[in-house]
Structure 1
Amino acid sequence: MARFHPLPVAAVDRLTDDSVALTFAVPAALREEFRHAPGQHLALRRVVDGTEIRRTYSICSPAPDPADPEGPRTLRVGVRLVDGGAFSTYALKEILAGDEVDVMTPAGRFTLDPAPGLYAAVVGGSGITPVLSIVTTLLAREPEARFCLIRSDRTAASTMFLEEVADLKDRYPERFQLVTALSREEQQAGLPTGRLDEERLTALLPALLPVDQVAGWFLCGPLGLVEGAERALRGLGVPRTRLHEEIFHVDTVAAPAVTTPAPAHSMVTARLDGRGGTWPVQDGESLLETVLRNRPDAPYACKGGVCGTCRAFLVSGEVRMDRNFALEPEETDAGYVLACQSHPATEKVELDFDR
């Protein structure tokens, strides 16, 4: 069961003019709870004028070795400033070493279990954050693994974790390939200026590596970049099962048109942390909102259909999801839904957050 713990801030490192890395110290008693897979994220929480604000940020530090009985001593996340962002502004301008921040235990399925083989990633902007954890963990643990990182940023000055990625190149020159594209600045060497769209990636990727031999592709960043990279790779014959995606930014998307009327009165039954309850769904509420009114400990972070923290198994009934940028087709086929985006389509709906 995901839960929050106050963690002390061990360090605040400026990465660029608009981004920082926060390092949290993990007390010995909590290290097992904060054991994580490479690529997972943390939800951070603060309360402003009685209103709770949660945001998710990916862990950029390597995952602890499973053989290590203690778990992680520290956790590091990257935070980029968002215009008007209630939490990112706080992180960049107010958080200092020594402060305490409420941190949820790790979540997320954008992960890689280190194994031999060739892997690759296409990332944009802060999408480098979880991939940095993935590639650092992979190359350190698996000597027969190789990784190709194709990253896109606006300018060199806006590139997060520039030194950390350069260090990987120095440590693993034969196993780590780095390709950088800048959309607003000319480079002395490397790719010409411009965005990595579907057309460009379709031509570029086969020239960089044997696309059909890549065991796993990790696509992370803004929605447009991820969708363009997915279309390019599918067009090159890559099976969908080898594609792993995480969206870092989604512009406002209109909810799909409702083709069937919602029931006049609906009840949701939810099982959470071993306990269940049944409550009426108020008009216009998502199922998550209904559950939160009665169980404030229900897991969530972004409420935007992006992070997947509120994933639940649909035991019975039917729901309508407004949007989904977090669940893989296999998960929805298996019966999982995002509670924050789900509305009842039948009079009775039952969810299980514990599966």
Structure 2
Amino acid sequence: MARFHPLQVAAVDRLTDDSVALTLAVPPALREDYRHAPGQHLALRRTVDGTEVRRTYSICSPAPAPDGDGPRTLRVGVRLVEGGAFSTYALKEIAVGDELDVMAPAGRFTLEPAPGLYAAVVGGSGITPVLSMATTLLAREPRARFCLVRSDRTTASTMFLEEVADLKDRFPERFQLVTALSREEQQAGLPTGRLDEERLSGLLPALLPVEAVAGWFLCGPLGLVQSAERALRGLAVSRARIHEEIFHVDDGTAAGPSAAAPAHSAVTARLDGRSGTWPVQDGESLLETVLRNRADAPYACKGGVCGTCRAFLVSGEVRMDRNFALEPEETDAGYVLACQSHPVTEAVELDFDR
């Protein structure tokens, strides 16, 4: 649960003017702790002016084989966010030899290698987890194919350009790449412009047999992911075959349906085998209540995006402000995001261990 370890920075590679890749060395004693599935992410933390800052970054390096040793290194991509407390630090200050506090891998936006055809639609830094998925899948499963549709502003702003080109060279018969640029003309390929629902509805069936794709992986800004999902649903793709991870959600995103909050409420939370009950202060999320009493409660983004604070709702009722991390089957099964949940009943019980 929410355990951090200091890992040394082994390499800092400039990808574009506004992004870097950080390689973290994993000591032998921690390699099992950092074993990860393709598509998972890491939470990194630092303290700024006395305030703890956590940010989540997807692992772009291949996942270790289940029957092999854990990873010797982990690589993440960081894109500069204007005013970003961690991304500015990563691009301007982090150097080889520095130590970073890194949480064990987490996340359910994953692809376990299996035979079949898989596809992804990504935008910008959304390539990061999908790069790990595609690399791991193609290297480990010879009967698998992968189609990547990626959208970027310009060639110069495209993260992991060389790594994706290497996949084309290594697996020319099993890896298909289609690139769309929104602000630059290409000599070949798609015309300039954004990948909206209309374009994707026509493009995807022309690229591959949509109905034969075992899993669709959508990752990037909210607008692109929503457009891709609507296009796929319009092409009769079942929601169960569509997997999403959102990057860059604007603060103005509408909240979920409102519900009256009780005058007094309390949350009981089970965490790492221990339970406690605490009163919820006015306006607090359930995660904030738990954190006041249990500093080891798991979280990273606090924005409803990463899913690190997922908990099972044992009893009571909650209202989630927004949810960009849990799949419909997870919410149907009773899981909530503690960072976005507020009590609707006087008593709420959460289980972070399930």
Fold shared per TM-score above 0.5: yes
Alignment partner, residue 76 of structure 1: 75
Alignment partner, residue 64 of structure 1: 64
Contact 2:2 2:299 (8 Å CA) reproduced: no
Alignment partner, residue 129 of structure 2: 130
Amino acid at match of 1:150: V
Amino acid at match of 2:57: Y
- Could you give the per-residue CA deviations for residues 28-74 of structure 1, whole angstroms, max 9, x where no partner exists? 00000000000000000000111000000000000001111x20000
**Residue 45, structure 1, aligned to residue 32, structure 2:** no
Contact 1:287 1:342 (8 Å CA) reproduced: yes
- Could you give the per-residue CA deviations for residues 108-156 of structure 1, whole angstroms, max 9, x where no partner exists? 0000110000000000000000000000000000000000000000000
Alignment partner, residue 32 of structure 2: 32
Alignment partner, residue 279 of structure 1: 278
**Residue 121, structure 1, aligned to residue 124, structure 2:** no
Alignment partner, residue 103 of structure 1: 102
- Could you give the per-residue CA deviations for residues 249-273 of structure 1, whole angstroms, max 9, x where no partner exists? 1112133452x32101001000000
Q: Residue 201 of structure 2: SS of its match in structure 1?
A: helix
Alignment partner, residue 88 of structure 1: 87
Contact 1:2 1:106 (8 Å CA) reproduced: no
Matches within 5 A, 1:144-155: 144-155=143-154
Q: Distance in 2 between matches of 1:149 and 1:156?
A: 16
Alignment partner, residue 9 of structure 2: 9
Alignment partner, residue 165 of structure 1: 164
Alignment partner, residue 254 of structure 1: 254
Gaps of 5+ in 2: none
Q: Distance in 2 between matches of 1:128 and 1:300?
A: 23
Amino acid at match of 1:31: R
Cα root mean square deviation, aligned:
0.7
Amino acid at match of 2:336: V
- Could you give the per-residue CA deviations for residues 63-119 of structure 1, whole angstroms, max 9, x where no partner exists? 001111x20000000000000000000000000000000000000000011000000
Q: Distance in 2 between matches of 1:342 and 1:261?
A: 13
Q: TM-score, normalised by structure 2?
A: 0.99
Q: Distance in 2 between matches of 1:299 and 1:261?
A: 27
Q: TM-score, normalised by structure 1?
A: 0.99
**Residue 232, structure 1, aligned to residue 226, structure 2:** no
Amino acid at match of 1:16: T
Q: Residue 325 of structure 1: SS of its match in structure 2?
A: coil
- Could you give the per-residue CA deviations for residues 186-242 of structure 1, whole angstroms, max 9, x where no partner exists? 000000000000000000001000000000000000000000000000000111110
Q: Residue 349 of structure 1: SS of its match in structure 2?
A: strand
Q: Residue 297 of structure 1: SS of its match in structure 2?
A: coil
Alignment partner, residue 327 of structure 2: 328
Q: Distance in 1 between matches of 2:352 and 2:45?
A: 20
Q: Distance in 2 between matches of 1:214 and 1:257?
A: 34
Q: Distance in 2 between matches of 1:255 and 1:112?
A: 29
- Could you give the per-residue CA deviations for residues 256-300 of structure 1, whole angstroms, max 9, x where no partner exists? 452x32101001000000011000000000000000000010000
Q: Distance in 2 between matches of 1:254 and 1:204?
A: 30
Q: Distance in 2 between matches of 1:145 and 1:241?
A: 20
Amino acid at match of 2:50: G
Contact 2:147 2:176 (8 Å CA) reproduced: yes
Alignment partner, residue 353 of structure 2: 354
Amino acid at match of 1:11: A
Identity score, percent: 87
Q: Distance in 2 between matches of 1:254 and 1:150?
A: 28
Amino acid at match of 2:65: D
Alignment partner, residue 222 of structure 1: 221
Alignment partner, residue 338 of structure 1: 337
Q: Distance in 1 between matches of 2:178 and 2:256?
A: 38
Amino acid at match of 1:254: A
Amino acid at match of 1:248: F
Give, in angstroms, the shift of residue 2 of structure 1.
3.1
Amino acid at match of 1:345: V
Q: Distance in 2 between matches of 1:237 and 1:270?
A: 40
Alignment partner, residue 202 of structure 2: 203
Give, in angstroms, the shift of residue 306 of structure 1.
0.4
Alignment partner, residue 190 of structure 1: 189
Q: Distance in 2 between matches of 1:261 and 1:339?
A: 18
Q: Residue 98 of structure 1: SS of its match in structure 2?
A: coil
Contact 2:4 2:102 (8 Å CA) reproduced: yes
Q: Residue 198 of structure 2: SS of its match in structure 1?
A: helix
Alignment partner, residue 20 of structure 1: 20
Query: Between Structure 1 and Structure 2, how many residues are aligned?
Result: 353
Amino acid at match of 1:343: H
Q: Give 4+ residue runs of structure 1 displaced > 2 Å after superposition.
A: 254-258
Contact 2:43 2:54 (8 Å CA) reproduced: yes
Q: Residue 168 of structure 2: SS of its match in structure 1?
A: helix
Q: Distance in 1 between matches of 2:205 and 2:231?
A: 11
